[in-house]
Amino acid sequence: MAVRCRSGTVSTSGVHENRRTSNCSVRPICRSTTLRWPTTRTRVAAGQLRSPICGTAWANTVSNFRWWTRRLSSSSLFHPGHCPCCVFRLTPSAGTRRFPAPHARCCSISPPTQQSAPFEHFEGIVVAGDTATPVLIVSTGRTGTRFLAEVLAACPTHVEAHHITPRSTLFNVLSNMHLTGVLPAGVLRGLWLRLKSEFAHTSRRLFVDSNNHLFALAPMLKELYPDLRVVHVVRDPRTYVRSHLNWAAQRLRSRVANHVIPFWQPNGWLLGEMPALEWLRMSKFEQFCWIWSFKNRLMAAMAETEIPYLCLRFEDLVESSEAEQSMSRLCAFIGLEHTSAMTSHEPVNQTTTRSYPGWHQWTEQRCQSLHRQCGELMQSYGYGTEPDWQAKLEQNP
């Protein structure tokens, strides 16, 4: 029995027939996924919302958002076994075009006899092994991800490298919403396929996205790109916190993002790691210490999975005599030939305002505050072994 969509028919053999001959660049989604935002008056009458007179605008906004996410997560567009005609952007066509259904559960059809790799032959998504191996370079931020993107982009015949884009900053917020349970995984997956179709879509051998905003998305991306490789860049928390505070002090956009935009950074209370009162009492310094610990714990957990994973220290890449050796490890991991020109680049996006001092000038109380949040993890990365630092920790505040 065939299953019919607005853009064509999916048969039980797993083949989608697109019979529309118009030159539209984007095909309509299935009827079951058509979303219409209900008016406030309609929803109040249906008992789904309190009247704006007796309720607050925030309550209405939250209720609308919850309704929207439930509607999305229940639709076939964001179901793990979605119909290909619901997701992928198709090029102009004439006549009938055929696309293999990517999943056995797509539109409730039976699987074909020989199931190919998910998303293998679709335009907009190129699976590693066909043309490009996707490489994701993730970090906490302030770790030279743009520097690495520029270094790898110096090999244009083999590598297409990208740094932060406006859509990447959107996924920074969305991934934090997902971690707190506000955004379902199916919605996040569907939005990625709709908005980041350029990921790994290149004729070059490697597609590198060096982006600290995608730190929480690697497990999901592994499902979409089986050959995904992840590089985790870690930085000393003492210089990370200092750099972040100085960067926010010299850039208004960073200050607004970190202080105003909800879900721009992970929230210890919403993630269940501490009571709300404890989180609210934390200074920005203490919150950044916790953020460093949380993000690195999350990324380090990938080492226990099947995802090819490499951890490098920021200091070893740019600030020591081991820079060439670390860059050589990175190139060997992603399958790129290492050249001496790669270590001649200078880091970018460096802070120019030094309003926040280095840790040598911190009080004992501040040093111990960072140690409480980051101590065990930073020692596992080889940080905090200096005698001066140990002396500050041993003193009574």
What pLDDT does 275 receive?
Answer: 95
Three-state DSSP string of 316-358: HHHCCCCHHHHHHHHHHHHCCCCCHHHHHCCCCCCCCCCCCCC
Which tokens in the block code for residue 45?
Answer: 């009458």
3-state helix, strand, coil in the chain (%, to 5): 45, 10, 45
What pLDDT does 350 receive?
Answer: 52
User: What is the set of domains in the chain, with CATH numbers?
Assistant: 3-108 (no CATH), 133-394 (3.40.50.300)
Cα gap 217→229, rounded to integer Å:
12
What pLDDT does 29 receive?
Answer: 37
Weakly modelled stretches of the chain, pLDDT under 70: 1-131, 144, 156-158, 161-166, 197-202, 320, 341-355, 396-397
Q: Quote the distance between the C-alpha of residue 223 and its chain's center.
A: 14
Residue 343, phi then psi, degrees to nearest 5: -90, 5
Is the CB of residue 215 less than 8 Å from the CB of residue 296?
no
What pTM was estimated for this model as a whole?
Answer: 0.65
How many CB atoms lie under 10 A from the CB of residue 297? 10
How many CB atoms lie under 10 A from the CB of residue 252? 9
Output the DSSP codes for 17-74.
EE---S--SSPPPPGGG---PPPHHHHHHTTSS--TTTS-HHHHHHHHHHHHHHHHHH
Is the CB of residue 243 less than 8 Å from the CB of residue 182?
no
Which tokens in the block code for residue 27?
Answer: 């095909």
What pLDDT does 102 receive?
Answer: 37
What pLDDT does 222 receive?
Answer: 87
Q: Are strands 15-18 and 97-100 parallel, antiparallel or unpaired?
A: antiparallel
Is the CB of residue 241 less than 8 Å from the CB of residue 289?
yes
Is the CB of residue 10 less than 8 Å from the CB of residue 85?
yes
Amino acid at 80: P
What pLDDT does 176 receive?
Answer: 92
What pLDDT does 177 receive?
Answer: 93
What pLDDT does 212 receive?
Answer: 84
What pLDDT does 70 receive?
Answer: 54
What pLDDT does 320 receive?
Answer: 67
SS3 assignment, position 12: coil
Q: Is 157 exposed, middle or buried (0-12, 13-18, 19+ CB in 10 A)?
A: exposed
What pLDDT does 114 receive?
Answer: 34
What pLDDT does 113 receive?
Answer: 32
